[in-house]
A and B are shown apart, each in its own frame.
Chain A
Amino acid sequence: MNTLKRVPHPVVAALFLIAGLALMWVSNHVGLWWVTAVVGLGIGFSYRPARTALLLSWLVALAAWGLDLLVQSFSSDIGGVAGVVALIAGLPRSSGYVVIVLALVFASLLALAGAWVGVALRRVVLAFGPRANPVEMSVTTPIAANPHDGQASTGV
């Protein structure tokens, strides 16, 4: 039985994403910013098709980092910080938005890179596991669109 080919129940998948978001959020507040990549890896490993996994990990990271900053901005001068950091970086203070965008871009890169590793790892596991499906291993073919997916999802 190959559980890697099983599509998670939507509720479970949603809970998993929320848990991932929470994990990113909490980890950031203890300095473990790289957990964003780990969560991305988990999503990449767990979700199919790859395109969906990448999209989900990106959205979760954006939410974890962006919502955190948004929430903080209600009680703190986050825009002011961004302006100061822009000045330190040699930009005008009014370019503070660039700093916020950069933070979100970095979070995205972390999550996407992690998700890519997750997807790739999953394919390696599938490729080297018993009854590996060569089509399944295609990078360019979305997993969900693969005619063998239905067979895989039954847990053959």
Chain B
Amino acid sequence: MKRTYRGWAVLNLVMSLLILTGVVFVGAKGAGPLPPLGAALNPGTGVWTLAADSRLPASSTLRLAVLDQPVRVTFEPNGTPHIAAATDHDLFVTMGYLHATFRLFQMDLMRRQGEGLLSQVIGRAALPSDKFELQLGLLRTAQTEWSQMPSDDPARVAAVAYTAGINASIAEQVRTQHLPVMFKMLGYQPAPWTPTDSLVVQGIMTQTLDFSTGPLLYALLVKSLGYQRAMQWFPILPPNEQHPYDTTAHAAQGVMPLATSPQMVSVSEAGAASDILDRFSSLPSWAIHTESNSNNWAVDGTKTASGKPLMAGDPHLAQTIPAIWYQLECESPGYHTAGVSIPGTPVILIGHNQHISWSLTNAQNAATLYYQEQTDAAHPGQYYWKGAWHAMQPVHYAIPVKGAAPVDFTVDLTVHGPVITMEGQAMSVWWAGALPSPDLTALLGINRASDFHQFRDALRSWHAPSQNFVYADGQGNIGLISAGYYPQVQSGQPWLPLPGDGSADVVGTIPFDDIPQVYNPPTHIVFSANQRQVGPDYPYYIGTTLDFFDPGYRADAIYATLSSGSHLTATDMERLQNDTHDYLAGKIVPPLLAALDGQTLTAQQSQAVALLRQWDGDMRVDSPAASIWIRFWMTYIYDTFSPWWTADKVPPGQNGSLRLRPDQPSSASNVLGESLEAWTLTDPTNSGFTLPNGATRTAPVVMRQAFADAVEALAGQLGPDPASWTWGRLHTREFPNLAKIPGLGYGPRPAAGTNRSVDAAGGNVYHSTAGPSWRFVVDWGTRESFGVYPGGESENPLSPWYQNQIAAWWDGTYYPVLDGAKAQSLAGATTWTLKP
């Protein structure tokens, strides 16, 4: 009897211990979708600290041991900090401290993305992204960059101090258990920051702006449409009239002439391209560059009211909350700069100092080349290059996966770059972004520059991503330089996958003096909006219409305004940045109306025509004509080209980039639109209108058909009354949360603009999630500058600084970019005194 009771007691204890162990385990580690409940939900150090952390900084003295001397940080009421440091070291320490204090999760997410470590905190769902990043090799590149950076390089000094500041903040947040809520929900603590992490974040931006799939898409187009038609419809030079900014004569210095002889694409090559594109479809949208981004321009004093230059810049990027930008002013003995930085990097990327101002747009040149590697079962692990078999260099990784065993992954490297598929055809990728690029050194040089000579010298070392750097200074000078690597190959057609046998290897880049650039041009204006920077006589290959310059409508609109402008002011620059007119509509609607003139129309069609006749091309929220125009243009492209797409079975490409639809644009339709514009305006009987069965058509015929189709579609979607088809009913803009958490973003709400307006609405044609990420205007006459970005300085969703700038951005208004003294005098400004 006694033994039975003892057994029962022991069993009871064992069971209770098992249950307790289970509860504690779930509390510490989480289970399935549950976060670690104990760590996450306890009232002391759980997620609830989010509320206390959302309080705005109060004026106080804080200890930051890694400083050399005290530093003053003044916060404007809108959250913009102004750092006043006695040493450059302390400036970068403080910058790192502020970035980590207000954006730590964003920074950790970015480095994890680049280093292939997302699976470690998210689980298997992130494996495709991690594998791709490890193949591409941002981490390998960053490690090489760091190892090659001289010990006295200002970038190294800055990165080390910046890292110390970040790690001081991380240590503080870990010690006080006040880490951002996402760390607590995901159940991990951030590892200490390293300078290499900063270079990886830089690499992430390079990838977003520079890594493309153009040659793979061309391979599919050539395979389906045939070489001639593919190159006719996706030509190297734009078929429509554009406005390059650099029209000066350039002499080739030992370069490859543009080769245009037909090249066949084999079944295995197309198979490899398809496999890669299929895999890329599962990657985050930022991983592959698919859209054009950004505007910048400057006018000299002959065109301004003040007699001094005006400069404007608005980089168009994915618009997330928190935003990619963190605005601040930095003052130390070596630097006095104001503008925006990317959390994770110790430099102001776009801004001004006391002498010069600058901003960036993407150069869009071809920087990604694909190579068909010759392999053979008789030579496993090898590839044929320059007459001999060479061993691929394997790099082994063990990808940590949350809740599962690490996944072994091997990347094979050839002389061209990593092998990214073995399906059908081994194919490797050469990418300019994989080459070490001392961007940080260049940017710090720009931050310190006091004239164009120093600015240009700093850009000599900028390799990737290639960018159009606009420039203006207080002395009255303006300029624009499209800095970066422009790979030149020994032979072959670099817009297609190239042979990997050594005959088409990259032999160099365009010499710096020959890259597109202008300084104080006689036009008195410089401008870039991702259009091809140079005219048809430029002697180097820099890319094609699909790989991939903007069709040029934003540049056209900017050119039209600036070239005809006089007595311009900062307000004019702001107005232009917020311009929502569709420049193409102004060119195409008149011939459309002409084509419809005298035709028998339904009452609904007549009403739509009347709306178009009254329309000024402004894609306003309340404009029904804007909806008619957008739907018509997409349908016009579709009706013109889709018969060929169907007949030749053109594959969709990654994420439908080659697909044609009457209700959605694609990379392909954007390029086809350039030809269609040119044909409509100057060659309405072009053979491109001809159907595959030989039936001939003209532009007016197809336009009438497209118009009828568009009106019918809109009636079906929005109701019978064309006056009610306002653009705001079709088009919204949203700033999603960076971690894709619904409800923590902003919007969607009806919005003006299209991807062709200067105030660009990027992303889905009806649902924009990209566009002006920072609007910036500098007036060297008054020495004032203005800026705004859609977001706020804090990533804490409860902080008043989480999205406090969005209202101003949405209304097209700006905040003055102040210096520290003015910021201190603002009502509501607070000051941190950081002491070592």
Using CB atoms and an 8 Å cutoff, list the residues of chain A in contact with chain B. Answer: 25, 27-31, 33-34, 37, 41, 65, 68-69, 72, 76-78, 80-81, 84-85, 87-90, 92-93, 99, 102-103, 106-107, 109-110, 113-114, 116-117, 119-121, 123-124, 126-128, 132, 134, 137-139
Contact = CB atoms under 8 A, between A and B. Distances in A.
A114 B38 CA distance: 14
Given A33-B42, A88-B185, A103-B43, A69 B20 contact: no
B183 to A, nearest CB: 12
B162 to A, nearest CB: 29
B9 A120 contact: yes
A114 to B, nearest CB: 6
Contacts of B182: 88
B2 interface: yes
B177 A31 contact: yes
Interface stretch (B231-239, B439-447, B563-571, B738-746): B738-746
B798 interface: yes
B742 A87 contact: yes
Contact of A88 (B1, B12, B20, B741): B741
A80 B51 contact: yes
Contacts of B6: 124, 127-128, 132, 137
Given A110-B38, A128-B6, A116 B16 contact: yes
Given A84-B744, A113-B22, A123-B9, 10 more contacts: A33-B39, A33-B42, A37-B23, A68-B44, A88-B181, A88-B741, A106-B38, A113-B19, A120-B13, A120-B16
Given A37-B20, A117-B17, A81 B12 contact: no
Contacts of A78: 48, 51
Contacts of A88: 181-182, 185, 739, 741, 744
Residue with the highest number of chain A CB atoms closer than 10 Å, among B23, B27, B47, B52? B23
Interface string B429-463: 00000000000000000000000000000000000
A13 B238 CA distance: 86
A92 B744 CA distance: 11
Interface in B722-776: 739, 741-744
Interface of B: 1-2, 5-6, 8-10, 12-13, 15-17, 19-20, 22-24, 26-28, 33, 37-48, 50-52, 54, 177, 181-182, 185, 739, 741-744, 797-798
Nearest to A92: B743
A29 B743 contact: no
Contacts of B177: 30-31
The interface residues of chain B, by DSSP majority, are classed as helix
A120 B38 contact: no
Nearest to B10: A124
Contacts of B798: 77, 80-81, 84
A128 B28 CA distance: 33
Contact of A34 (B12, B16, B22, B38): B38
B797 A84 contact: yes
A69 B48 contact: yes
Contact of B5 (A93, A119, A137): A137
A95 to B, nearest CB: 11
B109 to A, nearest CB: 14
Contacts of B27: 33-34, 106, 110
A131 to B, nearest CB: 11
Contacts of A139: 8, 12
B44 A116 contact: no
Nearest to B45: A31
A152 to B, nearest CB: 15
B180 to A, nearest CB: 11
Contacts of A120: 9, 12-13, 15-17
Contact of B44 (A28, A80, A81): A28
Residue with the highest number of chain B CB atoms closer than 10 Å, among A88, A92, A107, A124? A88
Contacts of A25: 43-44
B23 A110 contact: yes
Nearest to B14: A120
16 contacts: A27-B44, A30-B177, A33-B44, A34-B38, A65-B43, A69-B43, A72-B51, A78-B48, A81-B798, A106-B26, A109-B23, A113-B19, A113-B23, A113-B24, A117-B20, A134-B5
A138 B8 CA distance: 8
A114 B47 CA distance: 24
Contacts of A102: 37, 41
A126 B185 CA distance: 42
Given A31-B45, A37-B20, A85-B181, A123 B12 contact: yes
Given A72-B48, A81-B48, A88-B741, A106 B16 contact: no
B41 A117 contact: no
Contacts of B5: 127, 132, 134, 137-138
Contact of B1 (A31, A33, A134): A134
Residue with the highest number of chain A CB atoms closer than 10 Å, among B9, B23, B45, B743? B9
A126 B2 CA distance: 11
A28 B43 contact: yes
Contact of A31 (B13, B39, B50, B51): B39
B42 A137 contact: no
Nearest to B51: A76
Contacts of A65: 42-43
A114 B20 contact: yes
Given A33-B27, A81-B47, A84-B744, A28 B42 contact: yes
Contacts of B33: 89
